[in-house]
């Protein structure tokens, strides 16, 4: 912007139209500040060069007159001092309602631009500009404003003898425009139509350059305003609020049209504060700040109006007016602040240029070789959109890439250096700077995909997809600082990209980037997910209240943030959970830990004997798998109404707390290790569902191998088979062999290495060859299958004390599919028989007690399958 001034025109004809203006006669106009509060009055014209000029004073508001007191006069006086200081700068940054003073004298001609708010309570945004130049010379100076139309121009008119003042600032008030109209009139030399005159002004709505600046909406101006009692307190407050609103609008406009960094010397009183802690309450925010006064740091309590953009760690420039109240009880000063701007952290704007020595020291210029380091991180310069591929990300120890050059080189172009430092680096950095939100809702509201989300990882879910059961997928459940939950689905290659968070990230705070909201899950839509959330929620509640069930191990998440979260937000469990996924446009998901391993979450383990005591859908148990069955083998035995038919496997587990076993089925999606590997090992089953004595593992459950010793199954307490036996339960069976199912009695040979039955006989060598191993099978193993019918099963003496069971009816036909070991015990030595076995040799033999799983249990028929729970077998 420029301000050009030629000789003044005729200001004395204000209000008389444009006729009668003597354009040829140079007149020197002068306005004097009569000692009235300059910020509140507009001097529009003077038509006399005498010592007693006629002034036309326009008062802005009625209340301003009331507030003309000695204080405002002092302000005016202090401003005049500032004018002297700022006159050398030839700069003005605030353009609000403007007071023009135009004066001239034979030797010196002064143009004073006084910009002030009409807010009587505010004198902070006043900038003045006073210049002294010889008459007739054209003056041009820049005003800090990005919009070219936001300028105050004094430019040569067609007639060189006239001075024309043109004001086209976007924030020029009505009164200023009036003065502008008069300044044009001399050029016309006659009548000018109002429409032409308006066209000449070329008034346009200012364009906003502040696309990245968002302000909260002000009060609806279209709303019908209530009229208050004239002269009353409400009326006074209403007009005061109006002035404050307009002042805030001005300040915002200033913020949007000037660089957001605070100006070093604008003559405006301001405070630099750094927010340490922020506590929202009553639509206010109490901030514990550190005031940066030179090198000393003082603590300061500041009350801000509620503003989402304020965050802990922000640096805030607070402008006058502010008010301070000293609290009686604590003698603390509390600052009430409504006029402020958040300044970007210095490391975001300044660290991009790293000048390691003072290049301006002329004395050392000849001696010291200066290394000018320019930040060339691809992330900053915008060359790389994926932060994961940025060298700074890959090698965090490297602060950046430096290019060095000698001082001679740099002498050639300081401007070039600064352009390198500021334009590409800071500009890109300011655009590419990734803010981090600690609230999911704020993160969602900001609509900026580059903004990152910070939260504590509560759970890492590993699950199988339906299409590829062997492929592992991951999702992460996080909780933000406000207790809002969020499930983030990781990409397919997450295991390679984020191994640390997937393996050791639980309980730690991470920052997530490159994610987008997929949907919002509710309890109705995702009851399984919310049962996990409820469990986590209740765990926090338990840890907060300090109560613990004797049977439970206390779970603690021992960070301060967790405690603070729980302090405020543990009233009710969340009703929704954001579901997020990797954003397609942000260069991939980014997960970075920002917390060390200080907070270790100890899982709350429920003993099997205490299952059902808690009102929880999900529990975590630590137990030994004594038996595992593939559901496909036994599901035909289940009735069609049994939901377990769709499950994948069934595990029989127990722990040292209970001599009984508990069944646990695994649902599709649950990442289950090999069944054979699970047997006789102790595992922690985390977040398994428990309902009516049955546990189930779903995609939100997790199984972790424990180092503790497994529980032996020798003392397993099993009921004898009885009339009330349930399908897929284990029972103890004893009886006498009364028959054999000949159709099912057969044997076959398997490979001694792979236990596969894919054997074939080589026609040439007559040797058995395993088609799976591609090897010759020298000692094939014989597998046998035999189903026997038992009688006398109801005469079992092994019924535990206290259990009353209904014995099987005598007519019940009990069939048992025996294990290989039992068959071998039952049959006579194989060497004695060559052509099979005689049935008579097994009839009448006593068997048992055998551990059997019930496949079918009807009064007339009971089908059992012997299983082995002995770890030695």
Partner 1 sequence: MNPAGRKVSEVAEQLLTEVNSVYSKTGKLSDELLSALNFVFQAPLLPALDIIDNRNVTTISCPSGRKVYQVIGTSGTPYICLPSGFYCSCPAYRYSVLLKDDHLMCKHVLAIKLAEAMDLSKSQQVTDLEMTNLIKNLE
Site residues for partner 1 per CB under 8 A: 63, 67, 120-121, 226, 228-229, 232-238, 240-241, 244, 279, 281-284, 286, 301, 303, 305, 321, 323, 325-330, 332, 334, 336, 338
Q: Least Å distance between CB 543 and partner 1?
A: 20
How far is 850 from 730, CA to CA, in rounded Å? 10
**CB of 218 or CB of 305, closer to partner 1:** 305
Give the HSE-up count for residue 241: Cα atoms under 13 Å, Cβ half-sphere: 10
Report the residue number, 258 or 339, with the smaller CB distance to partner 1: 339
Residue 163, CA atoms < 13 Å, CB-side half-sphere: 28
Query: CA 117 to CA 137: how far, in whole Å?
Result: 31
Give the residue with the Cβ less far from partner 1, 297 or 305.
305
Residue nearer to partner 1 on the CB measure, 285 or 538: 285
Tokens 């603070």, located at residue: 564
Provide the sign of the torsion angle of the four alpha carbons 220, 224, 225, 226, taken in this order.
Answer: negative
Q: Least distance (Å) from partner 1 to the CB of residue 282?
A: 5
Nearer to partner 1, 238 or 531 (CB): 238
- Residue of 65, 145, 115 lying closest to 247 (CA atoms): 115
- In whole angstroms, how close is the CB of 244 to partner 1 at the nearest point? 7
What's the half-sphere exposure (Cβ side, CA atoms, 13 Å) at 510?
Answer: 26
Residue number, 333 or 446, with CB nearest to partner 1: 333
Cβ nearer to partner 1, comparing 303 with 853? 303
Give least dist CB 562 to partner 1, A.
18
CA dihedral of 188, 189, 194, 200, whole degrees rounded to 10: 10
Least distance between partner 1 and beta carbon 338 (Å): 6
Task: Considering the complex, state which of residue 567 and residue 831 has its C-beta at the smaller distance from partner 1.
Answer: 567
Tell me the residue ranges of DSSP E strands in 180-330: 270-281, 284-293, 296-305, 315-319, 323-326
Looking at the Cβ atoms of 341 and 392, the one nearer to partner 1 is: 341
For residue 70, the minimal CB distance to partner 1 (Å) is 13
Cβ proximity of 846 and 822 under 8 Å = no
Residue (of 135, 122, 129) closest to 169 by Cα position? 129
| Min dist. Cβ of residue 219 to partner 1 (A) | 10
| Minimum distance of partner 1 from residue 309's CB (angstroms) | 18
Question: Which one, 121 or 433, has the nearer CB to partner 1?
Answer: 121
CB of 246 to partner 1, least distance (A): 14
Q: Which is nearer to partner 1, 326 or 466 (CB)?
A: 326
How many other C-beta atoms are found inside a 10 Å radius of the C-beta of residue 707?
A: 5
| Torsion on CA atoms 74, 80, 82, 84, rounded to nearest 10 | -150
CA distances from 651 to 441, 579, 605, 624, 678 (A): 41, 31, 18, 10, 9
Q: How far is the CB of 520 from partner 1 (least distance, A)?
A: 22
Tell me if 461 sits within 8 A of 699, measured CB to CB: yes
- Is residue 622 within 8 Å of residue 684, measured between CB atoms? yes
* Nearer of residues 308 and 422 to partner 1, judged by Cβ: 308
Q: What are the DSSP calls for 325-380, one per residue?
A: EE-TTT--EEEEE-SEEEEPPHHHHTTTEEE-S-TT-HHHHTTPPP-EEE---HHH
CA distance 518 to 528: 18
Q: Which residues pair with 576 in a beta bridge?
A: 522
State which residue, 123 or 475, has the beta carbon closest to partner 1.
123
CB–CB of 811/860 below 8 Å? yes
User: Where do the H-state alpha helices sit in 331-450?
Assistant: 346-349, 362-365, 378-381, 391-394, 407-412, 414-420, 427-432, 440-446
**Least distance from C-beta 729 to partner 1, angstroms?**
52
CA distance 95 to 99: 10
Measure Cα distances from 342 to 249, 281, 454, 650 in Å: 16, 20, 21, 59
Q: How far is the CB of 279 from partner 1 (least distance, A)?
A: 4
The H-assigned helical ranges of 395-498 are: 407-412, 414-420, 427-432, 440-446, 494-497
At residue 10, the 3 state secondary structure works out as coil
CA distance 536 to 485: 11
Closest contact distance (angstroms) between CB of 122 and partner 1 is 9
Compute the CA torsion angle 741, 744, 749, 754 (nearest 10 deg). -120
Question: For residues 338 and 454, which CB has a smaller minimum distance to partner 1 in the complex?
Answer: 338
Report the distance separating Cα 511 and Cα 432, nearest Å.
16
Q: How many CB atoms sit inside 10 A of residue 145's CB? A: 23
Work out how close the CB of 243 gets to partner 1 at its nearest, in angstroms, rounded to a whole number. Answer: 9
Report the DSSP beta bridge partners of residue 580.
488, 517
CA distance linking residue 864 with residue 873, whole number of Å: 19
Instruction: Please say which residue, 337 or 867, places its beta carbon nearer to partner 1.
Output: 337
CB of 284 to partner 1, least distance (A): 6
**CB of residue 592 vs partner 1: minimum separation in angstroms?**
31
CB of 599 to partner 1, least distance (A): 24
User: Residue with structure tokens 């004594």?
Assistant: 626
DSSP-derived pairing of the beta strands 472-479 and 452-464: antiparallel
Q: Are 318 and 332 in contact (CB under 8 A)?
A: no
Query: How do beta strands 662-666 and 694-697 pair?
Result: parallel
Nearer to partner 1, 116 or 244 (CB): 244
Which CB atom, from 279 or from 299, has the smaller least distance to partner 1? 279
Instruction: Please say which residue, 228 or 402, places its beta carbon nearer to partner 1.
Output: 228
Q: Strand ranges (DSSP E) for 751-794? A: 759-761, 768-770, 775-777, 781-785, 787-791
Report in angstroms how near the CB of residue 442 gets to partner 1 at its nearest. 18
d(CA 57, CA 37): 12
């Amino acid at each position: 912007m420029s301000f050009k001034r030629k000789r003044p025109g005729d200001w004395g004809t204000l209000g008389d139209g444009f006729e009668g203006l003597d354009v040829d006669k140079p007149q020197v106009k002068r306005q004097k500040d009569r000692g009235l509060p300059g910020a509140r009055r507009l001097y529009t014209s003077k038509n006399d060069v005498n010592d007693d000029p006629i002034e036309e004073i326009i008062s802005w508001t009625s209340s301003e007159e009331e507030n003309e007191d000695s204080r405002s006069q002092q302000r005016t006086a202090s401003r005049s001092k500032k004018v002297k200081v700022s006159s050398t700068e030839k700069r003005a940054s605030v353009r609000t309602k403007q007071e023009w003073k135009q004066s001239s004298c034979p030797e010196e001609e002064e143009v004073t631009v006084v910009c002030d708010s009409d807010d009587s309570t505010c004198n902070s945004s006043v900038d003045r500009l006073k210049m002294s130049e010889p008459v007739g010379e054209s003056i041009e100076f820049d005003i800090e404003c990005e919009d070219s139309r936001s300028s105050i121009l004094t430019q040569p008119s067609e007639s060189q003898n006239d001075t024309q003042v043109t004001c086209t600032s976007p924030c020029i008030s009505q009164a200023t425009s009036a003065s502008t109209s008069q300044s044009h009139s001399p050029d016309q030399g006659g009548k000018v139509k109002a429409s032409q005159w308006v066209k000449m002004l070329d008034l346009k709505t200012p364009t906003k350059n502040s696309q990245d600046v968002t302000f909260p909406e002000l009060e609806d101006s279209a709303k019908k305003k209530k009229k208050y009692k004239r002269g009353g307190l409400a009326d006074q407050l209403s007009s005061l609020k109006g002035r404050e609103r307009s002042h805030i609008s001005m300040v915002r406009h200033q913020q949007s049209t000037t660089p957001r960094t605070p100006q070093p010397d604008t003559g405006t009183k301001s405070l630099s504060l750094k927010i340490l802690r922020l506590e929202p309450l009553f639509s206010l925010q109490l901030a514990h700040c550190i005031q940066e006064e030179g090198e000393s740091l003082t603590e300061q309590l500041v009350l801000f109006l509620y503003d989402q953009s304020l965050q802990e760690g922000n640096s805030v420039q607070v402008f006058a007016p502010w008010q301070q109240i000293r609290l009686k009880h604590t003698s603390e000063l509390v600052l009430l602040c409504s006029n402020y701007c958040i300044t970007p952290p210095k490391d975001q704007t300044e660290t991009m240029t790293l000048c390691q020595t003072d290049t301006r020291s002329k004395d050392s210029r000849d001696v010291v070789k200066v290394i000018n380091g320019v930040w060339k991180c691809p992330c900053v310069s915008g060359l790389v959109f994926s932060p994961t591929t940025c060298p700074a990300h890959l090698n965090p120890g490297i602060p950046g890439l430096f290019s060095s050059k000698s001082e001679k080189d740099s002498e050639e172009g300081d401007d070039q250096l600064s352009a390198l430092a500021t334009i590409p680096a800071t500009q890109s950095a300011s655009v590419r700077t990734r803010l981090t939100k600690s609230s999911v809702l704020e993160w969602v509201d900001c609509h900026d995909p580059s903004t990152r989300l910070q939260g504590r990882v509560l759970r890492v879910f590993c699950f199988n997809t339906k299409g590829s059961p062997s492929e592992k997928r991951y999702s992460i459940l996080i909780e933000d600082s406000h207790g809002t939950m969020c499930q983030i689905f990781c990409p397919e290659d997450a295991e390679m990209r984020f191994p640390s968070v997937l393996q050791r990230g639980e309980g730690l705070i991470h920052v997530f980037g490159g994610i987008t909201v997929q949907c919002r899950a509710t309890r109705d839509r995702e009851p399984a997910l919310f049962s996990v959330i409820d469990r986590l929620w209740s765990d926090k509640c338990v840890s907060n209240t300090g109560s613990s069930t004797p049977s439970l191990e206390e779970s603690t998440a021992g960070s301060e943030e967790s405690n603070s979260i729980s302090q405020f937000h543990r009233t009710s469990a969340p009703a929704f959970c954001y579901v997020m996924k990797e954003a397609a446009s942000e260069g991939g998901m980014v997960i970075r830990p920002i917390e060390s391993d200080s907070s270790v979450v100890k899982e709350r383990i429920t003993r099997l004997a205490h299952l059902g005591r808690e009102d929880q859908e999900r529990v975590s148990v630590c137990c030994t798998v004594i038996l595992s069955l593939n559901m496909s083998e036994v599901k035909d035995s289940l009735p069609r109404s049994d939901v377990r038919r769709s499950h994948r496997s069934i595990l029989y587990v127990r722990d040292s707390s209970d001599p009984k076993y508990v069944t646990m089925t695994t649902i599709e999606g649950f990442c289950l290790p090999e069944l054979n590997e699970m047997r006789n090992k102790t595992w922690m089953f985390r977040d398994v569902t428990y309902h009516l004595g049955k546990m189930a593992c779903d995609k939100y459950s997790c199984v972790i191998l424990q180092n503790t010793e497994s529980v032996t199954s020798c003392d397993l307490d099993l009921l004898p088979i009885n009339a009330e036996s349930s399908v897929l339960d284990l029972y103890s069976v004893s009886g006498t062999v009364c028959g054999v199912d000949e159709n099912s009695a057969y044997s076959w040979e398997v490979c001694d290495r792979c236990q596969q039955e894919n054997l074939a006989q080589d026609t040439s060598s007559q040797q058995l060859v395993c088609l799976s191993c591609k090897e010759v099978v020298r000692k094939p193993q014989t597998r046998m299958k035999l189903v026997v019918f038992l009688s006398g099963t109801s005469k079992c003496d092994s019924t535990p004390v206290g259990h009353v069971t209904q014995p099987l009816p005598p007519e019940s036909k009990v069939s048992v599919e025996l294990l290989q070991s039992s068959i071998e015990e039952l049959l006579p030595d194989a060497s004695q028989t060559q052509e099979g076995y005689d049935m008579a040799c097994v009839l009448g033999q006593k068997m048992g007690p055998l551990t059997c799983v019930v496949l079918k249990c009807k009064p007339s028929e009971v089908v059992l399958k012997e299983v082995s729970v002995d770890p030695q077998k």
